[in-house]
Structure formats: C-alpha cells, structure tokens
Amino acid sequence: MTDAGVFGALIGQEDVVAVLRAAARVDAPTMTHSWLFTGPPGSGRSVAARAFAAALQCPDGGCGVCHECHTALTGAHADVEIVSPAGLSYGVGETRELVTRAALAPTRGRWQVTIVEDADRFTEQALNALLKSIEEPPPRAVWLLCAPSAEDLLPTIRSRCRLVTLRIPGVDELADHLVGEGIDRALAAFAARAAQSHVGRARRLARDSDAQRRRREVLEMPAQVATVGGCFTAAANLVDAARGEAASVVQSLDEAETSALKESLGDIGGRGRARPRGVAGALSDLEKRQRSRATRTQRDALDRALLDLAAFYRDVLVVQIGADVDLVNVDLATTVQRLAQASSPEATLRRIEAVLACREAVDINVAPLLAVEAMALALHRG
C-alpha cells in the first residue's frame, strides 16, 4: 500500500479522494449518511466505495495497513456489508432485511456501512423500503450506493445522496500509473489503450498473458466469420474466452475474501479446532455473494469482449474513412488494414450495429452463445 493508503488504487480521481478523505474524519451529527458513487464501468465505483468504507472504519482515516482497512477492503469487516443483487434485481424482502441490519449499532467499527452494488437494480417496492432508511437514517448507518449514473436512480433517492462522480482516466494517465506499478512502459501503453482506459482490464492485460491471449482470440472473430462454419467456431471461442476472463477475475477476489473472512473470524482452519459459532453462516453468506458475483462477472466479461470487437470494427472504419485518430488495436494494424480494404464503410457500420445488438440481447438475458452466434452470422453477411 502506498502513501495514499486505501485510496491508492483510485487512478486520476484526486477531487473525489479529497472529498472522501475529509468526510471520513467527520463524526455524527455532521456525517452524510447516504452517498451515491457513479461512473462508467472501469472507473472504479466499487473500488472507491470500498476504500471509503475502510477509511470510515480505520482509526487513521484509511491507512491501508491496519486490520479495519484490510477487512473492509476485502468485504470481511463485521460492520461493512457489501451487497449485490442475487438475481436481476433487489427484491423488497431482501431490501427490508438490509434496512434492518443497517440500523444496528456497529459491533466494532465507527459506522454500520452498507455498500450497494448495482443500486440501479432495485424494484420499485424495494426502493420504497430503502427510501425510509435514507430519509431518516439511523445514527450510525452509512449507505454507499453504486450505479452507472445518477439518472439510474429515482429522484427521491438521488436528491438525498451526496454524489461522488468518478471519471475514466485518460489512456496516458492510466499508462503512467501502470508504469508506477512496475509495468514496462510499452506494455503499459498497449494495455491502457487496448482496454480503452478500463482500469481493471488494463491491469489484467498488462500482467496476465492469458488475458492477452483471450483478447487476441476474441479479435480473431472478424477473420473467422469469413465462412458460415467459422461463425459457429468463432462464437463458441468468444463465449469461452469471456468465461475464462471472468473466472480469472473472480478467483483471486474470492480467495482473498474467504481467507480475510476466516482470519477475521478467528478460524485458522485445518488445525482440528472447532469452528466458532457463526463462522459457517458467515462463510455461506460470502459464498452466496461470490456466486452471484461470478454470474455478473461472466456477463460483464462477455460485454467487455463485445466492446473489444466493436472497437476493432471502429478501427476498420477509422481506416476506411481516413479519420485522423489513433487506432485502439495498434497491435492488429495489419489485420485492420486488410479488412478495411476488403469491405465498405457501410458494411463496417452494419457490423458495428450487429455487435451492439448482441450486447443488448445479452443484457436482456438471451443465452450468450445464441446471441453471439446470431451476431457472428450477421458479421459474416456484412
């Protein structure tokens, strides 16, 4: 952990960090009890919320090394609950339970913090249940809601939250940060650009050769769809690559969380000691949360793969119309050139539309392989 403590992982968010740092030192009754973290995917909404939760519990405002910080960041802190929807949305029952828990006095921390991921996914009834706790917050409750944008929440909720807006860092800014993390300059520049500034993905591309291989597999699709048979192979490959990417994302998170939770519950495991009461329950809660995250991560990874593909065709279009902008996929410039010459800008636009239609289909829960196969055939037709 750097001098920046728990906020060190936030890139290019100086304004936000200053606000959160100051707020973490405030005590009741001046505390703001409801916060709304917004920003595009990859801007680090959830990372920022966790860092703030740690700063709120840390006696030192988020040192990044103490037990409070460590457990809050990994989701194992007794007074920091991180929730994500078990299905597609938060139901009224689970929201009522959440509101009840948020009203409890903290067991060891200063605040009872609830981080709500995908806060744009409450049913209307559930939102009403949440609203009461946000309108008249219990004295120690702090809500950290995360959503892509403030418009995704009802005005009644939005108007009662303090807004934290995260931005996507620039490609160069992100590359510099990766260099600071010990990544080679050329690799950092490639990863920041290929990931289109998505921080987590850039880091994986820079550090994990499997992630690089999976990206290349996805970007082989434009060549593979030249034949109808190739469409089906390409679709299966793309879905597999997304699955592999998701697995690598959740695996390290899951392991860190599980071991932090066991440690914080005093369960060192495997030494013949009886597990303290409550450990099994806490572990099964964590597993449930991890399973739902795995599902969401798979969907996100597929979406990411489709964005990579859209960016590839965008590069093709850039060449075709002779636009004076940088390619996203510099490493694939030859392939991009070849396709640009072999097709028309109109066909490229239709292909980009096919990729975007596939994203929408996956978003409304069409089976991924079916959606990707339909897209591959549309790419084939051109």
Give bridge partners of residue 36 from the DSSP assignment: 145, 163
Q: Are 10 and 17 in contact (CB under 8 A)?
A: yes
Tokens coding 214: 């999976």
Nearer to Zn ion, 5 or 169 (CB): 5
Could you tell me the smallest distance in angstroms from the CB atom of residue 24 to Zn ion? Answer: 10
Could you tell me the smallest distance in angstroms from the CB atom of residue 66 to Zn ion? Answer: 3
Could you tell me the smallest distance in angstroms from the CB atom of residue 59 to Zn ion? Answer: 7
Using Cβ positions, the residue closest to Zn ion within the complex turns out to be 58
Nearer to Zn ion, 51 or 83 (CB): 51
Task: Identify residues 133-192 at the interface with Zn ion (CB under 5 A).
Answer: none
Residue owning tokens 């109109």 = 346
Cβ-based neighbour number of residue 76 at 10 Å: 23
Tokens coding 71: 């457990």
1 touches Zn ion by CB under 5 A: no
Which of these, 14, 80, 74, 28, lies nearest to 53 by C-alpha position?
80
Letters for 38-77 (x = contact with Zn ion by CB under 5 A, - = none) are: --------------------x----x--x--x--------
Residue 210 to residue 172: CA distance in whole angstroms:
24
Nearer to Zn ion, 63 or 377 (CB): 63
Compute how many residues bind Zn ion; rule: CB under 5 A: 4
Nearer to Zn ion, 66 or 294 (CB): 66
Residue at 239: amino acid letter: V
Q: Are 222 and 379 in contact (CB under 8 A)?
A: yes
Nearer to Zn ion, 42 or 64 (CB): 64
Could you tell me the smallest distance in angstroms from the CB atom of residue 79 to Zn ion? Answer: 14
Nearer to Zn ion, 22 or 280 (CB): 22
Could you tell me the smallest distance in angstroms from the CB atom of residue 78 to Zn ion? Answer: 15
List all residues 6 or more positions away from 322 whose beta carbon is below 8 Å from its beta carbon: none
List all residues 6 or more positions away from 97 whose beta carbon is below 8 Å from its beta carbon: none
Q: Are 254 and 47 in contact (CB under 8 A)?
A: no
Helix (H, G, I), strand (E, B) or coil at 142: strand
Could you tell me the smallest distance in angstroms from the CB atom of residue 107 to Zn ion? Answer: 17
Nearer to Zn ion, 59 or 229 (CB): 59
Task: Identify residues 316-355 at the interface with Zn ion (CB under 5 A).
Answer: none
Q: Which residues of the chain form contacts with Zn ion (CB under 5 A)?
A: 58, 63, 66, 69
